[in-house]
């Protein structure tokens, strides 16, 4: 093929390669692909489904019902990042969309994300608003877990300044209606500019599941790109559909341990230990406050105290965990 023919083929190809990563979520995957069908029909996207060795017939369902999708059935579960890397390596589109199988695009969401990308050339990663089944907005954007952020969170700075809490995207204290530049966004659905993807060197295979989105945002920022949150682009999300099957109630343990493993790898042992110590002390202080007499009359104090006791224990476990233990959770 001549160079002019190659350029013509590239121009005719859809601008977005969507990498849907699937593991034993057949019915959610069906709904996910149905929501993407209009984008394929418009010529806006080409969809790849990487199935991580599901045993629920997901791969067969894709081949039989969604012939326009490109199925990749893997013999073993390679994890989330590795599955996306396969699609990125096989495509050359200017945009790569990273997608869980438990999401559904709403009308106009992908077009809005692309519009933001055209408007902001340094936006390497663009994140939509994620809406849960009950209609609430999922907290999906975060600050990097630096020592400064950790101190601000545990010293209660969010209670002193609503503006600061919103800027740092504290859970329960951010404004989900405001478009903004953020440090990183969770990878349920992300639109990634090919140039930024190439600059970061793809998902790091050291992270099998969890923290790969944090790591991508971190390396994109280091390469001079930023992550943009666009709330007018709405994506429905059935949160933790696959990870609940895998880990059950321990998925929060896995998520937190993976985050500390990321910190160890990218920030070093000293910063990781200091942040874990601050988080442990902060969680323990909040737990102590929840035992105060003034709160005993509140109807929700038992549940809140149980949650805070759990987080105190988890932070303490990560504080005293060995380097080898943390590294096993990458």
Q: Please provide the DSSP assignment of 56-109 as one string.
A: SSHHHHHHHH-TTSEEEEESS---HHHHHHHHHHH---SEEEEEETTEEEPTTH
Contact 100, 188 (CB under 8 A): yes
Average pLDDT over residues 321-330: 64
The per-residue pLDDT for 138 is 95
Q: Please state which of the ranges 29-43, 207-221, 274-288, 310-324 shows the lowest mean pLDDT.
A: 310-324
Note the pLDDT tens digit of each residue in 7-64.
444 446 899 999 999 989 999 999 999 999 999 999 999 999 999 989 899 999 999 9
pLDDT at residue 298 tops 60? no
The per-residue pLDDT for 245 is 47
Average pLDDT over residues 172-191: 95
Shortest CA distance to 59 belongs to which of 46, 48, 72? 72
User: φ and ψ at 283, to 5 degrees?
Assistant: -65, -40
Q: Which residue has the higher pLDDT, 29 or 286?
A: 29
Biggest CA–CA distance in the chain, Å, is 79
Q: Tally DSSP H helices, then E strands, for the chain.
A: 15, 11
Average pLDDT over residues 65-85: 92
The per-residue pLDDT for 5 is 39
The per-residue pLDDT for 251 is 63
CA distance 293 to 322: 38
Question: In 219-302, at which residue ranges do the beta strands (DSSP E only) sit?
Answer: 226-237
pLDDT band (50, 70, 90) for residue 219 = very high
pTM for this model (two decimals): 0.86
Fold of 3-139+176-241: Spore Coat Polysaccharide Biosynthesis Protein SpsA; Chain A (3.90.550)
The per-residue pLDDT for 314 is 77
Listed ranges 69-78, 151-160, 316-325; the one with the highest mean pLDDT: 69-78
Quick one: what percent of the chain has pLDDT higher than 70?
Answer: 83
Average pLDDT over residues 250-267: 82
Query: Helices 269-289 and 301-320: crossing angle, nearest 10°?
Result: 160
- Tokens in use for 233? 């682009």
Q: Which residue has the higher pLDDT, 247 or 318?
A: 318
Note the pLDDT tens digit of each residue in 104-126.
999 999 999 999 999 999 999 99
Please provide the average confidence, as pLDDT, over all residues in the chain. Answer: 86
pLDDT band (50, 70, 90) for residue 258 = confident
The per-residue pLDDT for 22 is 93
CA distance 79 to 22: 10
pLDDT band (50, 70, 90) for residue 218 = very high
- Tokens in use for 327? 């590294």
pLDDT at residue 292 tops 90? no
The per-residue pLDDT for 8 is 41
Q: Measured in whole angstroms, how far is the alpha carbon of residue 120 from the centre of its chain?
A: 21
Per the listing, tokens 């809406």 go with: 131
Q: Which residue has the higher pLDDT, 56 or 308?
A: 56
The per-residue pLDDT for 290 is 55
Shortest CA distance to 95 belongs to which of 171, 15, 208, 172? 15
The per-residue pLDDT for 3 is 43
CA distance 30 to 61: 8
Tally Cβ neighbours within 10 Å of residue 111: 14
């Amino acid at each position: 093929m001549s160079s002019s023919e190659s350029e013509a083929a590239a121009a005719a190809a859809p601008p977005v390669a969507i990498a849907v990563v699937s593991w034993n979520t057949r019915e959610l995957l069906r709904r996910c692909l149905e929501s993407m069908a209009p984008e394929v029909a418009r010529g806006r996207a080409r969809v790849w489904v990487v199935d991580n060795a599901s045993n629920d017939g997901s791969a067969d369902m894709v081949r039989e019902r969604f012939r326009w999708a490109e199925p990749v059935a893997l013999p073993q579960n390679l994890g989330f990042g590795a599955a996306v890397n396969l699609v990125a390596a096989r495509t050359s589109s200017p945009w790569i969309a990273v997608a869980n199988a438990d999401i559904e695009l709403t009308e106009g969401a992908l077009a809005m994300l692309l519009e933001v990308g055209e408007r902001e050339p340094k936006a390497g990663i663009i994140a939509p608003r994620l809406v849960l089944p009950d209609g609430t907005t999922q907290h999906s954007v975060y600050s990097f877990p630096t020592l400064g952020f950790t101190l601000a969170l545990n010293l209660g700075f969010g209670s002193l300044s609503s503006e600061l809490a919103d800027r740092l995207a504290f859970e329960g204290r951010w404004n989900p209606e405001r478009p903004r530049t953020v440090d990183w966004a969770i990878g349920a659905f992300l639109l990634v500019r090919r140039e930024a993807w190439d600059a970061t060197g793809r998902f790091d295979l050291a992270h099998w599941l969890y923290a790969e989105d944090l790591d991508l945002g971190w390396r994109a920022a280091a390469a001079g790109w930023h992550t943009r949150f666009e709330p007018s682009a709405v994506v429905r999300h059935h949160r933790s559909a696959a990870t609940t099957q895998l880990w059950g109630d321990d998925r929060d343990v896995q998520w937190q341990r993976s985050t500390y493993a990321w910190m160890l790898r990218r920030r070093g042992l000293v910063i990781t230990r200091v942040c874990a110590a601050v988080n442990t002390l902060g969680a323990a202080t909040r737990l102590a406050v929840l035992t105060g007499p003034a709160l005993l009359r509140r109807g929700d104090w038992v549940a809140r105290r149980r949650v805070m006791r759990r987080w105190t224990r988890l932070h303490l476990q990560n504080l005293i965990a060995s380097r080898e233990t943390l590294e096993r959770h990458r």
